[in-house]
Amino acid sequence: DAGITQSPRHKVTETGTPVTLRCHQTENHRYMYWYRQDPGHGLRLIHYSYGVKDTDKGEVSDGYSVSRSKTEDFLLTLESATSSQTSVYFCATWTGALANEQFFGPGTRLTVL
């Protein structure tokens, strides 16, 4: 277990409001990821980070932004939440190529009304 925590664990918000989800890791892993999980789609990559201040888009990045100012924290922001962003969001970290394992956090269930 890579010691990944996510906050909040549950959130209900209204359409048009900004939302920030936080991921915190204690293993000093360089690589971090945000995925969303939806029925019938498995998990899909939103954004990822390969170092402090180094981020890039994933498969479903529209409507999301990220920031990483410290190794241990990776923030996902929904600038103006929409009902299509109702989902379960998972943060993950990667050990690197040698061990090659991605560890997942417990998830955040977000409902946009």
Partner 1 sequence: AQSVTQLGSHVSVSEGALVLLRCNYSSSVPPYLFWYVQYPNQGLQLLLKYTTGATLVKGINGFEAEFKKSETSFHLTKPSAHMSDAAEYFCAVSEPGGYNKLIFGAGTRLAVHP
Catalog residues that contact partner 1 under the rule CB under 8 A.
4, 31, 33, 35, 40-45, 48, 50, 56, 58-59, 90, 94, 97, 100-107
Overall size of the chain counted in residues: 113
Side by side, the strands of the sheet bearing 4-7 are: 4-7, 19-25, 73-78, 64-70
In this complex, which beta carbon is closest to partner 1, that of residue 5 or of residue 80? Answer: 5
Round to whole Å and give the CA distance between 87 and 2.
Answer: 23
Closer to partner 1 by Cβ: residue 36 or 85: 36
Q: How far is the CB of 82 from partner 1 (least distance, A)?
A: 23
**Nearest distance, CB of residue 74 and partner 1, angstroms:** 14
The three-state secondary structure class of 72 is coil
**What minimum distance in Å lies between the beta carbon of 33 and partner 1?**
7
Distance, in Å, from the CA atom of 37 to the CA atom of 113, rounded to the nearest integer, reads: 18
